[in-house]
Structure 1
Amino acid sequence: MNAPSDHLVKEVSVGSSRRRFLKRTGAATAASLAFPAIAAPRSPGDTVRLALIGCGGRGNMLAASFAERDDVQITHLCDLLDSRLEGSARAIARHQHGKVPKKLKRVEELLEARDLDAVIVATPDHWHSPLSIMACQAGKDVYVEKPHSHNMFEGRMLLKAAHKHKRIVQVGTQNRSAPYNLAALEYIRSGKLGDIHLAKIYNLKAGGPYRLGNSQPQPEGFDWARWLGPAPERPYHSGIFHAGWHKFWDFSGGDLADDGVHQIDLACLLLGDPGMPLSVAATGGRLHFKGDDAEVPDTQVIQFEFPGMVVTVEQTNYPAYMKKIVNRNADVFPHWPHCATRIELYGSKEQMMIGRHGGGWQAFTAGGKVSAEMHGRHPDPLHQKNFIESIKSREAPNSDVEILHASTALVHLGNIATRVDHAKLAFDDKTEQFTGEGSGPANKLLKRQNKNQYSVSPNV
Structure 2
Amino acid sequence: MVTRREFLDTLAVGAAGLAISSTAKSYGQIMGANERLNFAVIGLNSRAYAHLSSLKANQGAVHISHVCDVESNILAKFATATNKMMGYDPATERDFRKILERKDIDAITIATPDHWHAPMAILGLQAGKHVYVEKPCSHNPGEGALLVEAQKKYGKLVQMGTQQRSSPHTIEIVNKIHSGIIGRAYFAKCWYDNTRKSIGIGRPAPVPATLDWDLWQGPAPRQPYKDNVQPYNWHWFRIWGTGETLNNGTHEVDVCRWALGVDYPNRVTASGGRYAFKDDWQFYDTLVTNFEYDDKAISWTSDSCNGMHTYNRGRGSVIEGTEGSVLVDRDGYEVYNLNGKKTDEFKVGKQTSTADLIGADSMTDAHFANFIAGIRKGEKLNAPVSVGNVAVTMLQLSNIAWFVHRELNLDPSDGKIKNDTEAMKFWNREYEKGWEPRI
- Structure 1 length-normalised TM: 0.82
Q: 2:417 aligns with which of 423, 430, 434?
A: 434
Using the alignment, how far apart are the partners of 1:221 and 1:208 within structure 2?
26
The yes-or-no answer on 1:313 pairing with 2:285 is no
**Counterpart-to-counterpart distance in 2, 1:188 and 1:90:** 45
Q: Aligned pair 1:89/2:63, yes or no?
A: no
- Alignment pair present for 1:405 and 2:389: yes
Aligned residue pairs total 395
Contact 1:44 1:389 in 2 (8 A): no
State the partner residue of 1:348.
Answer: 322
Q: In structure 2, what is the Cα distance between the partners aligned to 1:97 and 1:299?
A: 44
Q: Deviations over 1:251-299 (max 9, x none)?
A: 1111111111111111122122x1111111121111232x321101011
Give the aligned partner of residue 29 of structure 2: none
* Residue 223 in structure 1 maps to residue 212 in structure 2: yes
CA offsets 1:66-112 (integer angstroms, 9 cap, x no match): 034222110011111222222222221222232x1111122221111
SS in 2 for 1:240: coil
SS in 2 for 1:435: coil
Relative distance call for 1:83 and 1:311 in structure 2 (3 A) is same
Aligned to 2:273: 285
Q: Partners in 1 of 2:243 and 2:181 — Cα distance? A: 36
* 1:384 counterpart = 2:368: yes
> 363, 368, 371: which is aligned to 2:340?
368
What amino acid maps onto 1:408 in structure 2?
V
Distance in structure 2 (CA, Å) of the matches to 1:431 and 1:65: 33
Q: In the alignment, does 2:429 pair up with 1:455?
A: no
Secondary structure, counterpart of 2:311 in structure 1: helix
Does structure 1 retain, via aligned residues, the 8 Å contact 2:115–2:219? yes
Seen in structure 2, the aligned counterparts of structure 1 residues 345 and 65 have a Cα distance that, compared at 3 Å, is closer
Query: Is 1:297 aligned to residue 284 of structure 2?
Result: yes
How far 1:247 sits from its partner (Å)?
1.0
Using the TM superposition, give the Cα deviation of residue 373 of structure 1 relative to its aligned residue in structure 2, in angstroms: 1.8
Whole-Å Cα distance in 2 between the matches of residues 195 and 259 of structure 1?
Answer: 27
**Secondary structure, counterpart of 1:410 in structure 2:** helix
Q: CA deviation at 1:159?
A: 0.8
Q: Would the aligned equivalents of 1:54 and 1:121 in 2 still touch at CA under 8 Å?
A: yes
1:19-71 per-position Cα deviation (integer Å, ceiling 9, x unaligned): xxxxxxxxxxxxxxxxxxxxxxxx99920110011121221331243034222
Contact 1:253 1:411 in 2 (8 A): no
Whether the aligned pair in 2 keeps the contact of 1:117 and 1:140 (CA below 8 Å) is yes
Give the distance between the partners of 1:452 and 1:350, measured in 2 at CA: 54
Cα deviation, residue 136, structure 1: 0.4
User: Aligned pair in 2 of structure 1 residues 182, 44: CA closer, same or farther (>3 Å)?
Assistant: farther
Normalised to the residue count of structure 2, the TM-score between the two structures is 0.86
Unaligned runs of 5+ in 1: 1-42, 323-335
Contact (CA 8 Å) 2:410, 2:418: kept in 1 or not?
A: yes
Mapping of residues 133-144 of structure 1, within 5 Å: 133-144=122-133
Q: Secondary structure at the match of 1:186?
A: helix
Counterparts of residues 56-95 of structure 1 (less than 5 Å): 56-68=45-57, 69-95=59-85
Which residue number corresponds to residue 20 of structure 1?
none
Query: Partners in 2 of 1:79 and 1:341 — Cα distance?
Result: 30
Return the alpha-carbon distance in structure 1 between the equivalents of residues 69 and 33 of structure 2.
30
Aligned positions of 1:1-150 closer than 5 A: 46-68=35-57, 69-98=59-88, 100-150=89-139
- Aligned residue for 1:153? 142
Ranges in structure 2 where 5+ consecutive residues have no aligned partner: 1-31, 351-360
- Secondary structure class of the residue paired with 2:47: helix
Q: 1:372 to 1:431 in 2, by over 3 A?
A: closer
Greater mean deviation of Cα atoms: 255-264 or 445-454 = 445-454
Match of 1:443 among 401, 406, 424: 424
Q: Distance in 2 between matches of 1:367 and 1:425?
A: 35
Give, in angstroms, the shift of residue 242 of structure 1. Answer: 2.3
- Partners of 1:168 and 1:396 within 8 A in 2: no
CA offset at residue 209 of structure 1? 2.4
The one-letter amino acid of 2:80's match is R
Report how far residue 450 of structure 1 moved: 4.2
> Cα distance, 1:301 vs. partner?
1.1
State the Cα distance separating 1:153 from its structure 2 match. 0.8
Code of the residue aligned with 1:434 in structure 2: it is I
**Which string of whole-angstrom CA distances, capped at 9 and with x for unpartnered residues, describes residues 204-242 of structure 1?**
322232213435531226321221112222101231122
- Give 1:386 deviation, angstroms: 0.9
SS at structure 2 position matched to 1:218: coil
How many Å separate the matches in 1 of 2:338 and 2:414? 43
1:110-161 Cα offsets, whole Å, 9 max, x none, are: 1111111000101111101111111000000011111111110111111111
CA distance in 2, matches of 1:210, 1:238: 10
AA in 2 matched with 1:282: A
Identity of aligned residues (%): 30
Aligned equivalent of 2:10: none
| Shift of residue 429, structure 1, vs aligned partner | 3.6
The verdict on how the C-alpha distance between 1:319 and 1:221 changes in structure 2, with shifts beyond 3 A counting, is closer
Q: Which amino acid aligns with 2:83?
A: A
Aligned-partner Cα distance in 1 for 2:38–2:270: 44
Distance 2:279 2:228 in 1: 13
User: Are the equivalent residues in 2 in contact too, given 1:201–1:263 (CA < 8 A)?
Assistant: yes
Asked if 2 retains the 8 angstrom alpha-carbon contact of 1:168 and 1:400, the reply is yes
Which whole-Å CA distance do the structure 2 matches of 1:67 and 1:192 have between them? 37
Report the AA paired with residue 447 of structure 1: N
Q: Distance in 1 between matches of 2:162 and 2:423?
A: 27
Q: Secondary structure at the match of 2:66?
A: strand
Single out whichever of 55-64 and 393-402 deviates more from structure 2: 55-64
Structure 1 221/175 Cα, relative in aligned 2: closer, same or farther at 3 Å? closer
